[in-house]
Structure formats: C-alpha cells, structure tokens
Chains A and B, each alone.
Chain A
C-alpha cells in the first residue's frame, strides 16, 4: 500500500519570502512523486515530478522540490513567493499507474502582500 501525508492544512507566507509545502510518503520500492496545483473551481495542474536522478527537481513557475529518501519526504519550495502562488497544492505518489496515484489531502497556500 502507498500513502501520502501533507501535515499542514494551511501555509501562510508573506510575498517575497521563501515558501515550503511539506509532503511525506510511504511506498514499497522506488517512488514516483508529483506535485500538482489547483486554483479555485479548476482542475489540477502539474508542477513537477521526481522519477530518478538528481534529488532537487525544478518545475513550473519557479517551484522546486527536494527528494529525501532517508526521510521519505518530497517538500515543495520556492525562493520568493508571489501572491499569485496562492492556491491548493497536492502531493501524489505513484508506483504502477499514474492514474492510480495516491494523493495527499492538500495544503492551502496563502501568500499575503
């Protein structure tokens, strides 16, 4: 069985400050890890993924994520937050089929001007 935990329901940061949205996972074998973003009343949009290789993955809109195997974590980061980054963020883990990914419960990011 696979699982994902996003320990924070809500993250608040000031514009221009760095942001981190946390994700930990549990899966047997090597994981495929994803971050998606959802704006109100919209579908999810892909941000980035970790498959193998470099532990620091760069994605869309200046986001990056760090894969840490020993801590089974895949935290999403951005050096300087924008108000437009305010949205709901989902972490997901996949093993056999991307569509059968397990999603976390989501973290609402609010960036205040």
Chain B
C-alpha cells in the first residue's frame, strides 16, 4: 500500500540532545510537510519542501531543521534550541503542492522530554 511512514512512534529527548524524526513516502509526491500538534490546538507548519534539495520555513521553524536529499524522505531534526519540544509531530505530503490538493498524513511521532 502507498503511504507515509513515520518513525519512531514514540521518542524521548534528553536535555541538550538533538533528535531526528523520520518520514518516508512511497506516493511519488513532490511536496512534503512537517507539522506540530499540541493538545487543543490546530496543526502548525514547521517546514515544507516542494522539491528535492529545497525547503522553506513554516510558521514555527525555530529550533528545527530539515533536509530533502531524496524525493521520498524528509527527516526533521529537533535541536536543543527548541525549548519546548514535547508535542505530536505529523509528516504529510501532497502530489504537487497546489491549494486544492488533499494532504496525506503519516501516523505521527510523539516526542517527550525526559
């Protein structure tokens, strides 16, 4: 089945540590996105990429970094500069990035601070 795979499902970060969340898609989609979800809030866009080797900051990019070296992969690193990293992180993709396209989501990674 085609879809988006996020790993790990649960992740724990120690003080001062960088952690990387994996996102892989086999939908052959060009555009990929990372969102942060906090309880009682909507999704907030962290970073997005519309093509390989290119990505842009979203609304809350501080303390995060990404890469897009392959079309199917869009890993997110939560750096030690992100002081409040506990959240549910969602990766998504669209075929081309147009405004009328539906988002396909992974199952998410819950990040917690030890």
Q: Which residues in A have some Cβ–Cβ distance to B below 8 Å?
A: 4, 9, 32, 34, 36, 41-46, 49, 51, 90, 92, 94-106
Contact = CB atoms under 8 A, between A and B. Distances in A.
B103 A44 contact: yes
Interface of B: 4, 6, 31, 33, 40-43, 45, 48, 50, 58, 88, 90, 92, 94, 97-108, 110
B107 A100 contact: no
Contacts of A99: 31, 33, 45, 48, 92, 94, 97, 103
Nearest to B91: A43
Most buried by A among B40, B100, B108: B100
Nearest to A52: B100
A9 B100 CA distance: 26
B58 A4 contact: no
B103 A101 contact: yes
Nearest to A42: B107
A96 B31 CA distance: 13
Nearest to B106: A43
B1 to A, nearest CB: 14
A102 B50 CA distance: 18
Nearest to A49: B102
